[in-house]
Amino acid sequence: MNPWNNISSLSYKQIKEYQNHQLNSFINTHVYPFSSHYRQVFDDHKINPKHIKTIADLKHLPFTSKLDLMTKENPQKFRDFVLAPDQNKIRQFWPKTKLLQMALQSTFRGKESVLDALGKEYRPIFMTFTTGTTNAPVPFIYSRYDIDNLNLSGSRMVHLFNIKSDEKIMNIFPFAPHLAFWQTFFGALEANIFALSTGGGKVMGTEGNFTALMRTKPSVILGVPSYIYHLVRYAQKRQENLSFIKKIVLGASKVTVEYKFKLAEMLRDCGAHHVLIFGTYGFTEARTAWAECPTENHISSGYHLYPDKEIFEIVDPQTGEIKKEGEDGELIYTSIDSRASVVLRYRTGDFVKGGIIHEPCPHCGLMTLRISSDISRLSDTKDLNLSKIKGMLVNLNHFAEVLNNLPEIDEWQLEIRKHNNDPYDSDEIIIYIPPKGLVNESSFSVMLKDKLVATTELAPNEIKFVPLSEMIQRLELETANKEKRILDSRPKL
Ligand SMILES: [Zn+2]
């Protein structure tokens, strides 16, 4: 069965009507009764949960941010977001008719009691963590109900990528309690497709992953962009034939069109022509991921949303003012169909250019909503304390854009450090690049400095050319879950 069936034929108006209804019912049946955090929020702000009837009413609720989930004083605060029904709350908030209905359904299911059914719906059974670089990781809990949602989104993506039942998948996402690995693992299981999950570079090493790749010959590979790139380059150096690869699905990191072209060129060099390359977007707090669909020339289709499961708003990151759907702004996430850890109006810290698109997808025809693929993390810039770089507020994403888009550069690392490693001395920016057969290093350095100054108004203090093997170590490509593309080695004061 097509996992998109229940939403793919809805018009924009019908989607909005469904979301309004679902939002009201979700808040009144599950969130207000069973979430101690949100019951407090509603009561403190004197908001009657019954009055949240439409998406427009969400503006009465304050935003939820990472800080609400965990504080230094209360590291267990995330527990207040987990729905915790008990007999008293159920009696207080649920109409008798709902319990009667559940009892009837249980009778039809045979041995399963109402308590069993409630346990399946709410009992915490699984957990993934946020991957903060500076903040402590925050756990997000799943019940069986949420695993079913994870299965559904996984099989929706498999359908979107047009992966056939006789194809083989290789999951190279790092093995960890992080969303990407498990979204892929559960998605493939649910879609009934063969998948080898290697655990990534940290678990099996590049040699191990490469051997598994050549033995399994999967047509679909999923992983983190930097590691997939590394693995394909490894194959290219050995002049291996990768013609069995048809699709590459990337996650856990931003993917640009330029990256897709570079990767496609390397794949062509290994005999893999016309490889379709997709990006995905997801975050721990949503406990799901969304994906692009197949397109010509590596154009990004935008991420296909699940409007039966969530509502996205777009707001001005500074003022919190709500923007129109197609406008740029920070993505705000509200769950409308989940259990265990639930967040409403969650500030993702992700800035989207191009907002939400509601026209049917020109590539696959799906009528569900999409968000533009041009997403950058506001939180990265906050984490790196940019105001302190040479006393200027710098958006490091602009550095990344320039460096990613240069065809002469394969890998790069930007290091921010203190002159002489003295915490009171001036900031320095060093860029490391492997030579990759550059004709002239000094003229290339001049060109790169000019480009960076034009885009970021900041010149690097030094551009260092280092061998690729050293670069792989600097980036921790084979040892870390996420590459160290930007390194802030300034001593903390
Ligand atoms: Zn599409």
The answer on 425 and 469 residing in a single domain is yes
Q: pLDDT value at position 252?
A: 75
The answer on 406 and 325 residing in a single domain is no
Distance, CA 416 to ligand 1 centroid (Å)? 39
Average pLDDT over residues 154-176: 94
The answer on 340 and 193 residing in a single domain is yes
The identity of residue 28, as a single letter, is N
Q: pLDDT value at position 398?
A: 78
Burial class (CB in 10 A: 0-12, 13-18, 19+), 430: middle
Angle, vertex CA 195, rays to CA 232 and CA 209, nearest 5: 35
Confidence band (pLDDT; 50, 70, 90) for 181? very high
The answer on 389 and 360 residing in a single domain is no
Average pLDDT over residues 95-115: 78
Specify the pTM.
0.84
Distance, CA 489 to ligand 1 centroid (Å)? 41
Confidence band (pLDDT; 50, 70, 90) for 305? very high
Distance, CA 7 to ligand 1 centroid (Å)? 14
Distance, CA 295 to ligand 1 centroid (Å)? 8
Q: Which residue among 343, 377, 411 closes a domain?
A: 377
Distance, CA 187 to ligand 1 centroid (Å)? 19
Nearest-angstrom CA–CA distance, 178 and 198: 15
486 three-class SS: strand
Average pLDDT over residues 388-407: 74
Average pLDDT over residues 287-314: 95
The answer on 388 and 354 residing in a single domain is no
The answer on 294 and 170 residing in a single domain is yes
Distance, CA 481 to ligand 1 centroid (Å)? 29
In a domain, 165, yes or no: yes
Distance, CA 300 to ligand 1 centroid (Å)? 9
Question: What interhelical angle do 441-456 and 396-405 show, nearest 10?
Answer: 140
Q: Is the dihedral of CA 289, 293, 299, 303 positive or negative?
A: negative
Distance, CA 363 to ligand 1 centroid (Å)? 5
The answer on 189 and 166 residing in a single domain is yes
Give residue for tokens 């500074």.
Answer: 318
In a domain, 63, yes or no: no
Q: Is the dihedral of CA 468, 470, 475, 477 positive or negative?
A: positive
The answer on 437 and 371 residing in a single domain is no
Q: What is the pLDDT of residues 77-99, one digit of tens each?
A: 999 999 999 989 998 998 888 87
The answer on 411 and 352 residing in a single domain is no
Average pLDDT over residues 298-322: 95
In a domain, 178, yes or no: yes
Distance, CA 303 to ligand 1 centroid (Å)? 8
In a domain, 126, yes or no: no
Q: pLDDT value at position 389?
A: 66
Average pLDDT over residues 198-205: 90
Nearest-angstrom CA–CA distance, 430 and 459: 10
CB under 8 Å to 218, separation ≥6 — which residues?
167, 168, 169, 170, 196, 244, 245
Confidence band (pLDDT; 50, 70, 90) for 385? very low
Distance, CA 163 to ligand 1 centroid (Å)? 14
For the chain, what percentages of helix, strand and coil (3-state, to nearest 5) are there? Answer: 40, 20, 40
Which of these, 376, 375, 397, lies nearest to 386 by C-alpha position? 397
Q: Are 303 and 366 in contact (CB under 8 A)?
A: no
Q: Are 259 and 225 in contact (CB under 8 A)?
A: yes
Q: pLDDT value at position 391?
A: 61
Q: What is the pLDDT of residues 356-383, one digit of tens each?
A: 999 999 999 999 999 999 998 775 444 4
Q: pLDDT value at position 417?
A: 87
Q: Which residue among 310, 343, 377 closes a domain?
A: 377
Distance, CA 292 to ligand 1 centroid (Å)? 6
Distance, CA 339 to ligand 1 centroid (Å)? 28
Query: Which of these ranges, 47-61, 112-126, 227-241, 370-384, has the smallest mean pLDDT?
Result: 370-384
- The CATH code of the domain that includes 398 is 3.30.300.30
In a domain, 11, yes or no: no
Distance, CA 265 to ligand 1 centroid (Å)? 24
Which of these, 237, 240, 194, 184, lies nearest to 214 by C-alpha position? 240
Nearest-angstrom CA–CA distance, 435 and 8: 49
The answer on 412 and 265 residing in a single domain is no
Q: pLDDT value at position 257?
A: 84
Q: pLDDT value at position 426?
A: 73
Range of the domain at 396: 384-488
Q: Which residue among 341, 359, 377 closes a domain?
A: 377
Q: What is the pLDDT of residues 449-458, one digit of tens each?
A: 998 888 877 7
Q: What is the DSSP string of 138-185?
A: -EEEE-HHHHHHHHHHHHHHHHHTT--TT-EEEE-S--SSSHHHHHHH
Percent of the chain at pLDDT exceeding 90:
61
Domain count, the chain: 2
In a domain, 239, yes or no: yes
Distance, CA 94 to ligand 1 centroid (Å)? 40
- The CATH code of the domain that includes 162 is 3.40.50.12780
Distance, CA 302 to ligand 1 centroid (Å)? 7
In a domain, 259, yes or no: yes
Q: What is the pLDDT of residues 133-145, one digit of tens each?
A: 556 788 999 999 9
- The CA-atom distances, in angstroms, between 35 and each of 19, 26, 116, 225, 363 are 20, 12, 20, 37, 40
423: which DSSP letter? T
CA end-to-end distance (rounded Å), the chain: 58
Percent of the chain at pLDDT exceeding 70:
94
Distance, CA 482 to ligand 1 centroid (Å)? 28
In a domain, 34, yes or no: no
Copy the structure tokens of residue 141: 């809990």
Distance, CA 157 to ligand 1 centroid (Å)? 11
The answer on 483 and 398 residing in a single domain is yes
341: which DSSP letter? B
Confidence band (pLDDT; 50, 70, 90) for 316? very high
The answer on 403 and 362 residing in a single domain is no
Distance, CA 161 to ligand 1 centroid (Å)? 9
Task: Select the more confidently predicted residue: 447 or 254.
Answer: 447
Distance, CA 366 to ligand 1 centroid (Å)? 6
Which of these, 272, 196, 204, 200, lies nearest to 239 by C-alpha position? 272
